Amino acid sequence: MQLSKLPKGRTGVIEAVDVSQFGARLLELGVLPGKTVTVKRVGPFGSPLHVEVGTKGIILDKQTAEFVSVKAL
């Protein structure tokens, strides 16, 4: 499942990050496979997303969040 589809309030584990475009930047921000991610807030029309990776809060637009594959817990 893509991170952009994880519902608000749900937690998942990052399985993979597609580094084709923005993925390298996501890795720099700490969005790494194996880390837990929780969707804290979702903006109108599904973007932007406020997510918490470990203890770090990150704001992502929906298109960037689609580069992150997660497994819901």
pLDDT digits (tens, 9 = 90+) for 53-70: 999 999 999 999 999 999
In the chain, where the domains are located:
3-72
Give the residues across from 54 on adjacent strands. none
What pLDDT, on a 0 to 100 scale, did the predictor assign at position 19?
81
**CATH code that applies to domain 3-72:** 2.30.30.90
Q: Are 68 and 3 in contact, with CB atoms under 8 Å apart?
A: yes
pTM of the model: 0.89
**For 20-24, 27-31, 53-57, which range has the lowest pLDDT when averaged over its residues?**
20-24
Residue 27 pLDDT grade (very low, low, confident, very high; cuts 50, 70, 90): confident
Return phi, psi of residue 18, to 5°. -75, 115
Task: For the chain, give the mean pLDDT.
Answer: 92
Return phi, psi of residue 5, to 5°. -100, -5
Concatenate the DSSP letters of all residues of 49-71 into one string.
EEEEETTEEEEE-HHHHTTEEEE
